[in-house]
Amino acid sequence: MFTGIVTDVGRVRAVRETNRDCRFEIATGFDLATLDIGASVSHAGCCLTVVEKGEGWFAVEVSGETLALTTLADWKPGRPVNLERAARVGDELGGHIVSGHVDGIGIVQSVGIEGGSHRVAIKVPRPLHRFIAPKGSITVEGVSLTVNAVEDDVFGVNLIPHTWDVTTLGELKAGSRVNLEIDMLARYLARWRETA
């Protein structure tokens, strides 16, 4: 489990394809002495398992299904990646409860300035749009955000300068593909309503 609060922006340092799967090496500022093999780390919203580590980097392996359903298939060496270590019992829950399971890929429609923030509009694949509500939570590229507005299958978020500066969201532009995870509570509420 994660909170959607990014704790490092790593960088893809190597990519190796194996059959339909892929292995990524990620350069990081994490204290790797405290990151065990087998640990879960959120990478742009995708929960992946550490399989190897070295000086200033760790490796993860990604299945063909994950590559097909997320933006990870687009990753090349040098790409920045939002990283978050798994939450521990007793940690501050600064964002919202995030599983690290990407629900779909959104497409950025626009990025503009609104006051001191950046306003970002993202188109959501159907039927995910029905799980997104104003003032609800959503995870974009592993970052916990509050939804400001929803119009059909497009939602808007405002990114404060801190979030814009310390995550990869500051690189968004129209046409960018982003990993989305809908709010877990919305998912279960919708399922409950379908079966009630």
Q: Which domains does the chain have, with CATH numbers?
A: 8-85 (2.40.30.20), 104-195 (2.40.30.20)
pLDDT, one tens digit per residue, over 174-187 is 999 999 999 887 77
E strand spans, the chain: 8-18, 21-27, 40-43, 46-54, 57-62, 80-85, 104-114, 117-123, 137-140, 143-146, 149-151, 154-159, 177-182
pLDDT-derived band at 37, boundaries 50, 70, 90: very high
Q: pLDDT per residue over 99-158, tens digit each?
A: 899 999 999 999 999 999 999 999 999 989 989 999 999 999 999 999 999 999 999 999
Report the pLDDT value the prediction gives residue 89, as an integer from 0 to 100. 75
Q: Pull the structure tokens for residue 105.
A: 């890929």
pLDDT value of residue 183: 87
Strands lying side by side in the sheet with 149-151: 143-146, 137-140, 177-182, 104-114, 117-123, 154-159, 149-151
Let me know how many helices (H) and strands (E) the chain has, helices first: 3, 13
Contacts of 181 (CB under 8 A, 6+ apart): 45, 98, 99, 100, 101, 102, 103, 138, 139
Model confidence at 196: pLDDT above 70: no
Residue 38: what pLDDT? Answer: 96
What is the pLDDT at residue 188?
73
In the predicted structure, residue 18 carries a pLDDT above the cut 70: yes
pLDDT (mean) for 76-81: 98
Non-local (6+) Cβ contacts of 179 within 8 A are: 44, 45, 46, 70, 71, 102, 105, 106, 139, 140, 141, 142
